[in-house]
Amino acid sequence: MPTLCKPTVSVPEHVITMEQTLDLARSVHADHPQLDLALRLIRNTGVEKRHIVRPIEETLLHPGFEHRNATYVTEAKARVPAVVRGALESAELKPSDIDVIVYVSCTGFMMPSLTAWMINKMGFRSDCRQVPIAQLGCAAGGAAINRAHDFCIAYPGANALIVACEFCSLCYQPTDLDVGNLLSNGLFGDGVAAAVVRGRGGTGVELQRNGSYLVPDTEDWIAYDVRSTGFHFRLDRRVPGTMEPLAPALQELAGHHGWNAADLDFYIVHAGGPRILDDLSRFLGVPPEAFRFSRATLTEYGNIASAVVLDALRRMFEEGGAPDTARGLLAGFGPGITAEITLGRWTDPEERELAAMMRERESLHVD
């Protein structure tokens, strides 16, 4: 089975705190008739700080979509290589060992995709496949894992690289007074992540089954309005309640695999906001502590879109991972409303080998 190895995650050096965000909202939108509502929604996100690619003074300006997108390209080329090298090192592979690159992003546009630049500049093979995904938003982190899993099943022994590059601050729209847009100004952060799915070997999550689910008639609940000024984020007030229809989809997929989604060992899910995590805990019937990795990402980095799932998984690795064969669920949620879901077991070949040696020693001692 393919194994999802330890991700590498990087966030930019510029930081904006919750209090700074609230102060900016008060000063920039002082006359907004729903300012108090926006401030309350921002406070309720629980996001203590976020990281952004440009200083806040520059971020608050809007030099035009062309300039913003050029910044996206420059920053992606500057920041992606380091996380890719880190992910390859964790998986004990070289660029030439990678057979497909799955690149996900919803905060800038390039054609050809950054994957072409990576192949030319970073030592990947010329026959390395490219799978850029641009329109799944926050769900794309889960989709990237699933498409890498599918590829490694279709081509046994192949290795896949996942890259998530999100600069949400480049979508800031100072003249957009929609309450959902004001909320996004206090929720989203910037981050870049990468991880390898090894076709054979590796320590991490052994990917066993994946699936997708779209909540009917919700395609306009999370959306972009694309205008001359760029991407304008739209968020329907009904979005926080989407875990009620999505939790059964997670349960159903787990049931098809012979598992109970309420009785797993670890959960790595997209942290769109605290309400999402609280509701998922309630509707799945699992303790809030089960989502501690996702909640930590939200608190420390904000919603970093498709990179959230990879960062939450990184945190699990850094806590020591899980016992060998522990069962878990990974899920990304985003526009559609779409869920991308993965089931897997923790695998640690070294721990397994050590346990086998201990059992052999015990049997020899008994004899």
What positions carry a catalytic annotation?
138
* Residues ≥6 apart with Cβ < 8 Å to 238: 218, 221
Longest Cα separation, the chain: 83
Between the alpha carbon of residue 51 and those of residues 70, 222, 306, the distances in Å are 19, 23, 15
DSSP 241: G
108-132: buried (b, 16+ CB within 10 Å) or exposed (e) per residue?
A: bebeebbbbbbbeebebeeebbbbb
Contact in structure between 94 and 123 (CB atoms under 8 Å): yes
For residues 341 and 93, what is the distance between their CA atoms, to the nearest angstrom? 26
Contact in structure between 142 and 269 (CB atoms under 8 Å): no
Between the alpha carbon of residue 345 and those of residues 4, 55, 57, 152, 328, the distances in Å are 10, 41, 45, 16, 6
Residues β-bridged to residue 342:
210, 330
DSSP 33-79: TTHHHHHHHHHHT---EEEESS-HHHHT----HHHHHHHHHHHHHHH
What phi and psi values does residue 16 have, to the nearest 5 degrees?
-130, 130
